[in-house]
A and B are shown apart, each in its own frame.
Chain A
Amino acid sequence: MAATQSSADVGVTAAPVSGTPAAEIKTKGPGRHAWDRFARNKLALGSLVFCVLLVLVALLAPVIAPFHYAETDFANKLVGPGVEGHLLGTDTLGRDNFSRMLFGLRTALTVAFGAEVTALLLALIIGLLAGYVGGRLESALMAGTDVMYAFPSYLFAVILVTVMGRSIFALILAIGVASWVTQARLVRAQVLSIKEREYVEAARSMGAPGVTIAVRYILPNAIGPILVTTSFGIPAAIGAEAGLALLGLGVDPSIPSWGTMISEGTRYLLSAPHMLLFPATMFALTLLAFTWVGDGLRDAFDASGDLR
């Protein structure tokens, strides 16, 4: 077993003891390996559980929520938590905050996952094409990404929403299109590096068609870093959706969004602080959970990560 450097200051290395029996080689696929590393990170694991819970809650929101999100109750405007069955109070129109928060979660996750999937697909297609086909197509595509890169991403999203109106679809597209660029570059870089490896050459020499090679060989090996960026993309997209809603450019105002809840909350801050507190906290926890999952994934796939 090779001893590793305990300090990089002094170049002390020790090589394996001669004559040690070869360590048992347990075959573990890279996926399994990464999962084990991930699982060791308690924070990431816990966050993953929390995220799964969030997804479940979002899916079941129509069933779980005690009230419909648009159901008004003018008799009970701006009441505090616990009053009249309203777990977290009501807003200016008497709508139940708790239900609105649940639906807000639903909105956030729908848009975020939708946007990320869009971005991922775009990035995969363009990245694979650029990396694998190369040549003029690659230069053209990369020049395109350069331009997109120079374009401020939220600017782009805002403009897109202006053009397409305030629908969930528009939002998904806007956020997705604004963020695919870095992913595409990453995909291309991965493709370029894997393309040169021997097993690809071997496959090619056996006559496998390009598409097969791309999908069956390159893709699975490139998946690691891509998975990481996608998982970081989700909190970013959640933030983007809420941000746009905050600006008044989010989904249709009748559909709850954490962004609108926050902007409303600041308006009634002094009389009903709970209107800001609960959505903000929920929002923060959601973001943190997804971010920690992303961190965990990144560390799990990063084989040499111990120099931090």
Chain B
Amino acid sequence: MSLLEVDDLRTEFRRADGTRMTVVDGVSFAVEPGRALAIVGESGSGKSVTVRTLLGLLPKTARVAGGSATFQGKDLLALKQRELRRIRGRDIGMVFQNAMEAMNPTLTVERQLTEHLLWHGICGKAEARERAIEALAGVGIPEPERRIRMYPFQMSGGMRQRAMIAMAMVTKPALLIADEPTTAVDVTIQRQLLDLLAGLKEQGTGIIMITHDLGVARYFCEDVMVMYAGRVMERASTHALLDAPRHPYSVGLLGSSIEVGGRDRPLIPIPGSPPDLARRPDGCPFHPRCAQAELPRCAEPQELLTIEGSPAAAGDAIEAGRVHGAACWKAASLV
């Protein structure tokens, strides 16, 4: 059984002028223990909002408009705040992009690594401290007993990022969500962090990694999902998608990005820009920019279709290579 199964998630925001904006528009995916799913897309594609919806971390102007998210047998979207809070930080951990911002500058590392252990009643203060030191050691920070008394700004960038991972892992969550954890660090540290996370995978933790860096996705994640304007454009195992993308958007994305270790070729940006989410194009959100677009079919609601042309369900993503879904009716013919 999947660790997390999200089905047709929909999130809306209400803007200052009262209009409604659909930021996540029918997203489905699944995460397995010990595997990492990359959610890839441009800014504004809805990747962050998707995961924050799962954790109930949305601002007051947002609301869940539909769908379900089954985690350990419970639908996260149907839970009351109190129950959701019990899962947050304990069974699902989150790591952010910038440790300097995600950690309180006026509290010691120890405080920040232990407070949720106490909140969830997992253990007492003394034991929490031990666990925190262990967690720091576990992420490769030397002299953890000394470091634990420091403030975040006293650590180097890489160390801080690791401490943030330790902060999420100290409660030994089954699922870890990482929102662009490598974007703010340089490449060497990036590699170290990813290796660290790989170790967690080995211990059975499921990971959702949000990133716009395809190189990171290729290096670290078994599965990948491409989002655009709040919808899933394509979903497959990483090497399948990156080697043979089928949705025109994914093709464009790969054509316009630099991959670590990628081939030398000219970068071709995708013309145009993402749509105003309050006035979405009908059907496929990408079709106004798509070179392959054909009206009126592209303006009709699209589904994720497999190579054979049949719809791909969330759970089928597990079977790497066998199910590769793309939300484009033309995808099959483009291959």
Q: Do chains A and B touch in the complex (CB under 8 A)?
A: yes
In the assembled complex, the Cα of A15 lies from the Cα of B270 at a distance in Å of 14
Q: Contacts A9-B59, A10-B49 given: A17-B44 contact, CB under 8 Å?
A: no
Shortest CB–CB separation between residue B30 and chain A, in angstroms? 23
Which one of A3, A7, A9, A12 has the greatest number of beta carbons of chain B within 10 Å?
Answer: A12
Residues of B within 8 A of A7 (CB): 13, 59-62
A-B contact count (CB 8 A): 66
Residues of B within 8 A of A3 (CB): 15, 21, 276-278
Is residue B150 within 8 Å, beta carbon to beta carbon, of the partner chain? Answer: no
**What is the interface of chain A mostly: helix, strand, loop, or mixed?**
loop
Shortest CB–CB separation between residue B227 and chain A, in angstroms? 13
Is residue A305 within 8 Å, beta carbon to beta carbon, of the partner chain? Answer: no
In the assembled complex, the Cα of A9 lies from the Cα of B60 at a distance in Å of 10
| Residue contact B274 to A15, C-beta cutoff 8 Å | yes
Scoring A residues 1 to 25 as 1 if CB is less than 8 Å from chain B, else 0, what string do you get? Answer: 1111011011111111111000000
| Residue contact A17 to B275, C-beta cutoff 8 Å | yes
Give residues 287-320 of B contacting A (CB, 8 Å). Answer: 288-289
Shortest CB–CB separation between residue A243 and chain B, in angstroms? 40
Residues of A within 8 A of B61 (CB): 6-7
The count of residues in chain B whose C-beta lies closer than 8 Å to any C-beta of chain A is: 29
The count of residues in chain A whose C-beta lies closer than 8 Å to any C-beta of chain B is: 18
**Which A residue's beta carbon lies closest to that of B14?**
A6
Other-chain residue from A2, A6, A11, A306 in contact with B43 (beta carbon distance below 8 A): A11
In the assembled complex, the Cα of A63 lies from the Cα of B13 at a distance in Å of 61
**Which A residue's beta carbon lies closest to that of B272?**
A18
**Which B residue's beta carbon lies closest to that of A15?**
B273
Residues of A within 8 A of B13 (CB): 6-7, 12
Q: Contacts A10-B49, A14-B21, A17-B279 given: A4-B273 contact, CB under 8 Å?
A: no
Shortest CB–CB separation between residue A42 and chain B, in angstroms? 19
Residues of A within 8 A of B52 (CB): 10
In the assembled complex, the Cα of A15 lies from the Cα of B52 at a distance in Å of 21
Which one of A6, A13, A18 has the greatest number of beta carbons of chain B within 10 Å?
Answer: A6
Residues of A within 8 A of B276 (CB): 1-3, 14-17
Residues of A within 8 A of B46 (CB): 12
Residues of B within 8 A of A9 (CB): 58-59
Is residue B334 within 8 Å, beta carbon to beta carbon, of the partner chain? Answer: no
Shortest CB–CB separation between residue A259 and chain B, in angstroms? 45
In the assembled complex, the Cα of A177 lies from the Cα of B293 at a distance in Å of 71
Residues of A within 8 A of B273 (CB): 15-16, 18
In the assembled complex, the Cα of A11 lies from the Cα of B96 at a distance in Å of 13
Residues of B within 8 A of A13 (CB): 43-44
Is residue B190 within 8 Å, beta carbon to beta carbon, of the partner chain? Answer: no
Is residue B108 within 8 Å, beta carbon to beta carbon, of the partner chain? Answer: no
Shortest CB–CB separation between residue B17 and chain A, in angstroms? 9
**Which B residue's beta carbon lies closest to that of A2?**
B276
Is residue B16 within 8 Å, beta carbon to beta carbon, of the partner chain? Answer: yes
Shortest CB–CB separation between residue B191 and chain A, in angstroms? 26
| Residue contact A12 to B272, C-beta cutoff 8 Å | no
Is residue B48 within 8 Å, beta carbon to beta carbon, of the partner chain? Answer: yes
Other-chain residue from A4, A6, A11, A14 in contact with B275 (beta carbon distance below 8 A): A14
Give residues 48-88 of A contacting B (CB, 8 Å). Answer: none
**Which A residue's beta carbon lies closest to that of B288?**
A18
Is residue B23 within 8 Å, beta carbon to beta carbon, of the partner chain? Answer: yes
Q: Contacts A6-B13, A6-B21 given: A12-B49 contact, CB under 8 Å?
A: yes
Residues of B within 8 A of A19 (CB): 272, 288
Shortest CB–CB separation between residue A5 and chain B, in angstroms? 9
**Which A residue's beta carbon lies closest to that of B229?**
A14
Which one of A2, A10, A11, A13 has the greatest number of beta carbons of chain B within 10 Å?
Answer: A10
Q: Contacts A12-B23, A19-B288 given: A6-B44 contact, CB under 8 Å?
A: no
Scoring B residues 25 to 69 as 1 if CB is less than 8 Å from chain A, else 0, what string do you get? Answer: 000000000000000000110101100100000111110000000
**Which B residue's beta carbon lies closest to that of A8?**
B59
Shortest CB–CB separation between residue B61 and chain A, in angstroms? 5
In the assembled complex, the Cα of A14 lies from the Cα of B205 at a distance in Å of 33
Residues of A within 8 A of B49 (CB): 10, 12
| Residue contact B58 to A14, C-beta cutoff 8 Å | no
Residues of B within 8 A of A10 (CB): 48-49, 52, 58-59, 62
Residues of B within 8 A of A18 (CB): 271-273, 275, 288-289
Residues of A within 8 A of B59 (CB): 7, 9-10
**Which A residue's beta carbon lies closest to that of B271?**
A18
| Residue contact B278 to A14, C-beta cutoff 8 Å | yes
| Residue contact A11 to B48, C-beta cutoff 8 Å | yes
In the assembled complex, the Cα of A165 lies from the Cα of B51 at a distance in Å of 72
In the assembled complex, the Cα of A14 lies from the Cα of B20 at a distance in Å of 13
| Residue contact B15 to A6, C-beta cutoff 8 Å | yes
Residues of A within 8 A of B279 (CB): 17
Which one of B21, B49, B61, B276 has the greatest number of beta carbons of chain A within 10 Å?
Answer: B276
Shortest CB–CB separation between residue A1 and chain B, in angstroms? 7
In the assembled complex, the Cα of A1 lies from the Cα of B279 at a distance in Å of 10
In the assembled complex, the Cα of A177 lies from the Cα of B286 at a distance in Å of 64
In the assembled complex, the Cα of A306 lies from the Cα of B15 at a distance in Å of 13
- What are 23 pairs between A and B in contact, CB < 8 Å? A3-B15, A3-B276, A6-B14, A6-B21, A7-B60, A10-B58, A10-B59, A10-B62, A11-B43, A14-B21, A14-B44, A15-B44, A15-B273, A16-B273, A16-B276, A17-B275, A17-B279, A17-B281, A17-B288, A18-B271, A18-B273, A18-B289, A19-B272
**Which A-B residue pairs are the 3 nearest by beta carbons?**
A18-B272, A7-B59, A6-B15
Interface residues, chain A, CB within 8 Å of chain B?
1-4, 6-7, 9-19, 306
Given A3-B21, A3-B276, A18-B271, 10 more pairs with CB closer than 8 A? A2-B276, A6-B61, A7-B59, A7-B62, A12-B48, A12-B49, A14-B275, A17-B275, A17-B288, A18-B272
